[in-house]
Structure 1
Amino acid sequence: MQIPVPELTHSFTLRVELSSPIELGQGRAGQRRIIPIVGGAALGPDITGEVLNLGADWQTIFADGAADLDTRYALKTDDGAVIEIVNVGARHGPPEVIARLAAGEDVDPTTYYMRTTARLESGDPKYSWVNHTIFVCAGIRRASAVEIDYYKVT
């Protein structure tokens, strides 16, 4: 028997609105910051709704400019379910590209790496499938938002 090769299927895109970063200073592994998540939208095909005004991205920025991303937030679907999202990953690239991102510029997303894995959870029976699905994501950093494509691993 051959081990099945996983496939990716686009599930939804999130446009996540961010508030200004809260700088914590130097931590054990690097510069620490918290970026509040204040809204946004989930844009199908599997899930549509609004990103709730709660949650944050707890980041560690390493000496080389790479970021460890650790987010927790929630969305409310158009049909009333609440889904928790825990998303962890990494963003890195050439120093000049990371500097432009930090300055709030729109940067070609092919010039840097922003990938995450996500765990979703819901108690709503219509979305129980998310409790047993692995998601991998690719993202784009904007001045006051991120856009993230969520892919189901099948």
Structure 2
Amino acid sequence: MHPPVPTLRPICTLSVELGPIREMGEGRGGKRRIIPIIGGTVTGMIRGSILNLGADWQLVYKDGTAFLDTRYAFETDDGALIEIINRGFRHGPAEVLARLAAGEVVDPTEYSMRTSARLETGDPRYDWVNRTVFVCAGSRSADAVLIDLYAVE
């Protein structure tokens, strides 16, 4: 007998403020960059503020695909600290990725930004995040990322 097909439940939207990109240059697998995470907000079922710490340690492949590898934290409005590690890919047509790199506002339907997230906390009120699988859909602007976070059920 097959298990039920998973569904997605919206949890929150992360509006992540970014600092200036730090270009590291070409590495073994592609262009390396560090993008500081300097703040932001969490809205939805979970509400809070993104802390001024963490970064996206990106690897950009020759075809323009970016491997996103972020680690940061937020504090809920009721005082819980929650760590988030979010990894995935942003890709699309070369001309669309060039517009994103130039800081232009690009319709998120023109490219794909999908990640999987792991959340962790020691706060018993949010213990459920420690055993939940999360997936995300995102969009990028010049100085921010908007991430819709969903629980897989």
TM-score (ref. length: structure 2) = 0.99
- In the TM superposition, 1:80-99 aligns within 5 A as 80-99=79-98
The DSSP-based 3-state class of the residue aligned with 1:89 is strand
Partner of 1:144: 143
CA deviation map 1:48-101 (0-9, x unaligned): 000000000000011111100000000000000000000000000000000000
Supply the AA of the counterpart residue of 1:39.
G
Using the alignment, how far apart are the partners of 1:153 and 1:107 within structure 2?
Answer: 28
Please, which runs of 5 or more residues in structure 1 have no aligned partner?
none
**CA offsets 1:79-128 (integer angstroms, 9 cap, x no match):** 00000000000000000000000010110101101000000000000000
Amino acid at match of 2:102: A
Percent of aligned pairs with the same amino acid: 65
- Report the Cα distance in structure 1 between the residues aligned to 2:2 and 2:38, rounded to whole angstroms: 45
Root-mean-square deviation (Å)? 0.5
Within 5 Å, which residues of 2 pair with 1:60-99?
A: 60-99=59-98
SS in structure 2 at match of 1:131: helix
Q: CA deviation at 1:20?
A: 0.5
Q: Which amino acid aligns with 2:75?
A: K
Residue identity opposite 2:5 in structure 1:
V
- Quick one: which amino acid aligns to residue 100 of structure 2? L
Where do 1:1-150 residues align within 5 Å? 1-45=1-45, 47-150=46-149
Note the residue ranges of structure 2 that are not aligned, 5 or more in a row: none
Q: Give the SS at the match of 1:3.
A: coil
Question: What letter matches 2:127 in structure 1?
Answer: S
Q: For residues 28 and 68 of structure 1, what CA distance do their matches in structure 2 show?
A: 14
The residue identity in structure 2 corresponding to 1:147 is L
Count, aligned residues: 153
Q: What is the CA distance between 1:44 and its match in structure 2?
A: 1.3
**4+ residue stretches of structure 1 with deviation over 4 A?**
none
C-alpha distance in structure 2 between counterparts of 1:2 and 1:86, whole Å: 30
State the secondary structure of the residue aligned to 1:60: strand
Name the SS of the counterpart of 2:15 in structure 1: strand
Shift of 1:2: 2.5
Distance 1:36 1:2 in 2: 43
| Distance in 1 between residues matched to 2:103 and 2:31, nearest whole Å | 18
Aligned-pair CA distance for 1:3: 1.4
